[in-house]
Amino acid sequence: MALKEALESGKFVVTTEVGPLKGTDTSEVMEVAEILKGKVDGVNVTDQQSAVMRLGSLATCSLLVQKGLEPVFQMTCRDRNRIALQSDLLSAHVLGIRNVLVISGDFPSLGDHIDAKEVYDLDSEQLIWTINQMNGGQDLAGNELQGKTDFFVGAVVKPVSDTDASTELQLAMMEKKINAGARFFQTQAVYEADVFERFMKRAAQFKVPVLVGVIPLKSVGMARYMNKNVSGVFVPEPLIDEMGKAEDKTAKGLEITARLINDLKDMCQGVHIMAIGWEKKVPEILKMAKLA
């Protein structure tokens, strides 16, 4: 079942993601694809994640289509101008890719090619609008396409904010993206059910599916790093203490992830598991969360 159909049917959707490696070796991605097949509703393929040069999302999505999975083609606004973005979208459609997640992209200064020139010709809202133009049979310049696209377009939102003003900004941005054509949202990682519940009560007005993001904790160091360096993510001290006291950090990290999913699942329409190296453990997480 396509991701769009799964969400429209009311099914609680499970997506995860894979990150292409730096090089031409696709064996690990293909191994993960085989493990995930039949167990998730969609697989995001990151697009030069953290501004680090890797194998492209487009090629990797095409490989997942061949494997029988439902890829979600991540597109960052950072690296391509409007001509290249639209061309890649046409290519994606021809290759059988039907889901696109639009993100702005980290600044090149955070990656491994710090002298790279950022583009940002279109922002995320403009790219979402462009995709919907293409779905209607026209490019951004108003030219008719010889064969239109049919993409299910998603965007991202941060439900965890430091201030009320930040929350209002996220909701305003969410509404703008919906007006531009976004049809589903994936969130930044959430570790506090009460905070997410408050956000979702506000976001319910938009009547658009939201997939809550979860990142399995691997260590106390990872939790503290995210608290310090990842905008929109906050791991509360009780969870950090729980990780610190655990003898088996892996088992505890999986247990916490499954527990979070169960705490959050009644508030939204799906979960997006950002496993970050633990992709092969996603089926185990789903089994523990009784979503297998």
155-202 pLDDT tens trace: 999 999 888 899 999 999 999 999 999 999 999 999 999 999 999 999
pLDDT at 205 over 90: yes
pLDDT at residue 201, rounded to an integer: 96
Summarised one tens digit per residue, pLDDT across range 121-140 is: 999 999 999 999 999 999 99
The residue-averaged pLDDT of 44-50 equals 95
Residue 50 CA from chain centroid, whole number: 13
Exposed e or buried b per residue across 130-154, where buried means at least 16 C-beta atoms within 10 angstroms of its C-beta = bbbbbbeeebbeeeebeeebebbbb
Give the residue from 80, 49, 76, 75 showing the smallest Cα distance to 61: 75
The residue-averaged pLDDT of 41-61 equals 96
Tokens of residue 158, six digits: 């941060």
DSSP 8-state secondary structure symbol assigned to residue 214: E
Tokens of residue 171, six digits: 């909701």
Q: What is the pTM of this model?
A: 0.95
Q: Which domains does the chain have, with CATH numbers?
A: 3-288 (3.20.20.220)
pLDDT at residue 84, rounded to an integer: 98
pLDDT at 292 over 90: no
Residue 271 CA from chain centroid, whole number: 10
78 with 106: CB under 8 angstroms?
yes
The residue-averaged pLDDT of 48-65 equals 96
The residue-averaged pLDDT of 37-65 equals 96
Summarised one tens digit per residue, pLDDT across range 206-250 is: 999 999 999 999 999 999 999 998 888 999 999 999 999 999 999
Packing angle between helix 237-245 and helix 220-229, nearest 10 degrees?
Answer: 160
pLDDT at residue 184, rounded to an integer: 98
Q: CA 202 to CA 255: how far, in whole Å?
A: 29
With a pLDDT cut of 90, the percent of the chain lying above it is 94
State the pairing for strand pair 184-189/13-18.
Answer: unpaired
Please list the helix, strand and coil fractions of the chain in percent, rounded to the nearest 5, in that order: 45, 15, 40
Q: CA 72 to CA 75: how far, in whole Å?
A: 9
